[in-house]
Amino acid sequence: MDKSLLVTVGQNLLRFLQRENAEVEAAVWILDSDMAWRLWIAPKKYVDRHSFYLTLAKVLAKHPTIGDLEVSDVQIVEPNNPIIQELKRFGTTAGPRLPVWLTNERLGGFFVPEGIILKVA
């Protein structure tokens, strides 16, 4: 998927999740080792993976205009995950200038060849 389209699809999803009272603390597209883009989302109120994936599936079914995104393209991470904590340093410097494009970064001990930060609370 084109990177600008990733941003649009991700921002659309975040907007619709917010409308469903599924607040997101952080969201970042990560290019994984299989060269596939995955959207990592840290919910603000994390209950369990199942609950959030159920909400995600409902939002995607209700709003097909979000774009070409499947539930399997999204990875839920707990808000206390080291990667999410590392993203907060970009949020303080980026302010309202999101998205932030990442190249060859280390986040929470993981190497990220490419990433696009969509939201950091």
pLDDT digits (tens, 9 = 90+) for 77-100: 987 888 888 887 776 555 567 898
Task: Please list the ranges in the chain whose pLDDT falls under 70.
Answer: 1, 91-96
- The confidence score (pLDDT) of residue 93 equals 55
Separation of alpha carbons 61 and 20, rounded Å: 13
Q: What is the dihedral of CA 39, 67, 100, 95, to 10 degrees?
A: -100
DSSP letter for each residue of 43-70: ESS---HHHHHHHHHHHHHH-GGG-S--
DSSP run (H or E) holding 82: helix 82-94
- The confidence score (pLDDT) of residue 98 equals 84
- The confidence score (pLDDT) of residue 2 equals 87
- The confidence score (pLDDT) of residue 119 equals 92
Place of tokens 């990177």: 3
Domain boundaries, the chain: 3-120
- The confidence score (pLDDT) of residue 73 equals 95
- The confidence score (pLDDT) of residue 108 equals 84
Separation of alpha carbons 35 and 69, rounded Å: 16
pTM metric for this prediction: 0.89
- The confidence score (pLDDT) of residue 53 equals 93
- The confidence score (pLDDT) of residue 42 equals 92
How far CA 105 is from CA of 62, 70, 111, in Å, comes to 35, 26, 6
